Structure 1
Amino acid sequence: MFGTLCALDPEPYKFSEREIESMSYLAKFLGHAFELQKMTANLQLKSAALESTANAVAITDRQGQVQWVNPAFTRMTGYTLGEATNQKISAIMEQHDLLLTHQYWEGEAPSRRKDGSLYHLETKITPVQNEDGEITHFISVQEDVTERKLSEAKLHYLAHFDPLTELPNRVRFRESLTEELLHAKQQDQQLALMFLDLDRFKTINDTLGHSLGDQLLRLVAMRIRECARSQDLVSRITGDGFTVIMPNVAGLAEVEEIATKIAEGINEPFTVEGYELFISTSIGISLYPENGPDAESLLRFADTAMYYAKETGRDSYCIYSDEMSLHNMLEVETALRRVLERDELTLHYQPKVDIHTGEIYGMEALLRWFHPTLGFVPPDVFIPLAEEIGMIGKLGEWVLHTACEQNRRWQEQGLPPLRCAVNLSVGQFQYTNLVETVRQVLLDTQLDGRWLELEVTESIIIQDTEKVIDMLLELKEFGIEISIDDFGTGYSSLRYLQRLPIDTLKIDRSFVKDIDSPEADEAAIARAVILLAHSLGLRVIAEGVETEVQLDFLRSENCDAIQGYLFSRPVPAEQFAELVRSQKRLPVRLDVI
């Protein structure tokens, strides 16, 4: 401005100081005016955008009280600016502490309009700062997402529920079974699973049509729910297949009572479109923890039991047992031949407890086989089969290596050193180079031989006594302890006990289970075994101890150690380590003198 005047004036630079000061002031004033004009235009543009946006916008003060809302807010909530002013935005109040740390927040929540109707909104809140960085206001932008939430809920329902019967479908059933199993494990509760399949339902469908069949399925679903307990979860997982999850059952009697009630309920006639229809169902039942630890196992076993019920006459229920899967030994043999390559074997460990100190001093490694379709295959089924088909050597070596490696790993983890017992079979003595195998396993696993115990049965000793004695003497050179398992059930001569390089006698569980019966002779046998062992300088351990009465008897007879369900059942490696870490002890009786 000054330069322009100078250019136009015939005598440039002849302005007085006062004139120059006035021009400078005027220039600054006009500059501010131009800036205000631009700011006003900018604010008008932003205001127009906020006024016209489809999302509800509210500006609040630092305390969350509404100062201004746009028309969309009024349309969405029903509240005008006057009604909303000085009211508080709930989301801002709930997240107030977080927002005061200058953090942006967004979330979804249900809300109610002025007329009381429910809607679902998505809210985004941004703090507003002044020039000093202090939060002075909050801007809340809300979007009505009710339609989207309804669509999501509908999709979720279609994905998890059967539209015909309105029961949970297969997807939701599996989720529920997994959840209930987890709860049962945490609360140490028993759970039952029923698998129901309608008998000859296809005949009704083919004869009277699918429309009538669908109506019958709806009525069957209603009747199952009526017969089940209120806490049970009924699902439809196949065309005419239903399941019932029974959490926290009191026992097998309660499960059988509900199964009978459902079977009898379905047997009652159904009336559909003037037809009186009769139908029955076959029910298979599996139980947790008896039939497996996971959902897949329980469903498979319940399915197996259901087909067993159909094969044995229909219109009944069957509770799963191992025999249902193991009646075909050819199938078991085929599966056994590939058990190692498919990594289906595991070891469980049962603590051995000193009867006088109550402390865990060792454990026995017990082989477990869980097949994907056969389920749990008992050792007394597959061990003899392995000996028969010549696989016992490979299985025995796997058990020995796995147990020694696990024991050494526990010691590296800081657990106190414990002696792990591994059972040897007749086949390992007859068909394998046992001594060399043990030596190599100890070398490979870097386990000191003194932390290994080998258990042999009397049947092994009588096969070839002299050869067995020589092999046991060689094994003793590695520092290994030897014990005779199931003592008293075989036919070995007592004179060999003095020659055998053994350290421990194990009283067979058959002589322990009835020692609390006054008319049983087992107490006398157990007493005799303890006296015999001590006279030979051997340690005595009783297996299968399940009651306090049995424990008290063994204490009174000065037995050295026990193992059995009274203290702990065989458990996986992780659980055994926890038993040791927790320093679980057998209660020690203190005699008062």
Structure 2
Amino acid sequence: MWSPVPWFFALATATGVLWGLTARSGGLCLTLAIAEAGIAGTFLYSHGRLVASVTAAISLIPIPFLFINNSAVLFQVHLPLMALISLGSFSGFRMALRNTRNELESQRLTQLLTDNQAQLQDKIKQRTSEIEQANKRLNFEVELRKEVNQALIQSEEQLNLAMTASGIGFWDWDIPHRKVYHSDPERFFGEQSAVDSETFSLVDYVAEPDVPQVRRALAKHLRGQSEYYQMRYQVFLPETAQPRWIEDIGKVTERDARGRPIRMIGTRRDVTKDMQLQEELSLSSSLFNNSADGVFVLDQHQQFRTCNRVFCDIFGRQKGELLGLPLFQVIRTDQTQRISQSMISNGRWSGDLFSQRRGGERFPMTMTLTTIRREDNSVSHYLGICRDQSESQRTEKELRYLNNYDKLTGLYNRGYFHEIVGQFREHEPLLTEHYAVCVINLDRFKSVNESLGLEVGDQLLKDLAARLNNLQEPIRQVARLSSDEFAMIIEFEQDRDMLLSMLEHLQAEITRPFLVGEHELIVTASIGVCVVTEGNLTQLLNHAIAAMNQARYQGGNNYQFYHQRLATTPLERLQLEKALRKAVINNEFSVDYQPKMNLHTGIIDSVEALVRWRHPHKGVLDPDDFIPLAEETGLISAIGEQVLNKACQEAAAWRQRGFGDISISVNLSSHQIRRNDLYDIIYNALQNSQLPAEYLELELTESMLMEDISHAQDFLNQLRSLGVRLALDDFGTGYSSLSYLKRLPIDTLKIDRSFVAEARQGETSPIVEAVMAMSESLRLNVVAEGVETREQLHYLESLGCDYAQGYIISRPLPASEVLTLIRHSNLQTLSQATDAVH
């Protein structure tokens, strides 16, 4: 109701009607109407609808009236004036509209600027607040960093003080760059200026006898074969006359992608006092064990804790029987009451008495018993010393020593050791998994006598006997059975881990260098072990010797437990030896071939010859069943010659039948390489078979070559002059130095199957990778033995291995079957097979 548009429109309509009715007479109405339109256009130009409604009413309503009356005013006055007024009103409206828009835009911009200024001020305040908070946090972190640095400095000072006080030094070895950081070098190696991290070499300071052990322990840890590197060695300083003992403990902390060590960190401390104390304890132990008197120790309840061998000899009982027994149950005397009262009142008793041995024999003896007390005066132990006083017993003991002890070494001899072993049959009840009989045979001891003389050999045996006799529990009796064969009894008390640990320690003690005159000798031994059970009491020594022979067959420097497969009675052994000699004469040996696949081409182009004995009654026998006996009897050379001739003839026949260039590998035994005519044997085999020499490969083991490296080098060069290739079998399992590898004319390295077995289920073998890297630098071919899974095969291919040999490719096959396999072999066949080619 309050909108101005209807009111103005009604007014203009009325005015237009009035004007139209009176337009014919003109006058005041016409003037007022036109004036109204002009005024409306002038004053209402900013309101377009008002101007339009007024102008439209005044312009249009009079037209019909003027047109009907045929008035000239319509065209002469009304229409021109109204057109002019409409044009002016429209122009004014547009100008007003433009001004209004400009004013609104100006107001909008002004408001926007005001709002932006407010927002900007808010943001500035917020950013200023954030900067202030950041400055506060930064100041807090700076203060905290200062406190942490101060704490670290203080902690480092405390650590250095603690390490200095405890005598511990720290070292950090950057292996690729050959730099070593030492925290306190002058304490261990003299002046600090003499220990330069750029040129430091530990072996320059280590005493020469300890250098091989340090190198071996360090290399073992770097290859990942031990969790920690730990070694004690002697160093000689210019200002000190006595050597100083140092102990290093370290661990590799970083390795590269191929498993090679990058960084090693460890500690070092002076253990001279510890070694002196250990030596004193060893001397005390030696005095205890080798005392001419019987010495024993009782616990606080007067029960036997330990005793020496003489005490056991006096009473004729085993040490294991005595432990835990009360004193007067072992030393049976009628002076029990007097001895007990004296021990209570004086803490000591000494005197003569009569006691009883096993079997009821009474004998005179003197005994001293002393109480050992703690600081609080409570009883800790009792120490007893006794001596057999009977003259007849002394004479018997001397005769017994002459009859039962070895003259050279002072150990029990073979006869008395048989008696000791026989006592197991008297044990009631016999403790199962409690004792083990161990036989030790030195590897290649004959070469020591032949090269250095019998005197050096005898002294070596004496030193070894002393070393074995000084071994601590659980080793009991030690005996010398023959020239270089020893035996002992180990009481491991159902603790298999203790037994294995003792055997490892025994091997380490044997391989520790001996200094005989001006010679430093390193020997190894083959060890056979037989665990005492109810079923083998009559064959303990024979079984241990059979296990020892198995250890010798596997290359020596290892120990083997007896198992039923090694069981042969002396009669069976003689019969087998007789059959073996007849087999050599009758040529009963055949050759199977195990293929080797070329991993670069996927083709089988090489095989290894493996001997088989076709026994007329027992069928085909594996090498494990007769090779140890052939080694002992010397028949292995004749067998090896037959295998060589057959392998060369069949390889030559394959070439004539068009099977391509197939190389053949033949194993040589230690007996063969010692023969002076081996060169002629190989030459004749090649000539008779017409096989080109480059297709024959001879395999030797590290242990064979390390017996005499100079002879091995000359011997191998002679073989190479024939044109044959040479392979080093079971590489990595021996004790050869890698420096010799560069001197020997070797073409191929064969990685032992034990290392290949580590690469299962996606795992890697650091040793395999190390051998591959070394062979690449020396430009040697590599053959991996014992490949049984596809994962192992792919792993070896990724490392660039040249050949693979194992059950995934094929088992050893007769010549006819291996030819069929070779004919159809290719890489695609192998990749499509589920488990194996054959």
Same fold (TM over 0.5): no
Q: Say which one has the larger Rg.
A: 2
Query: If the length of structure 2 is used for normalisation, what is the TM-score?
Result: 0.31
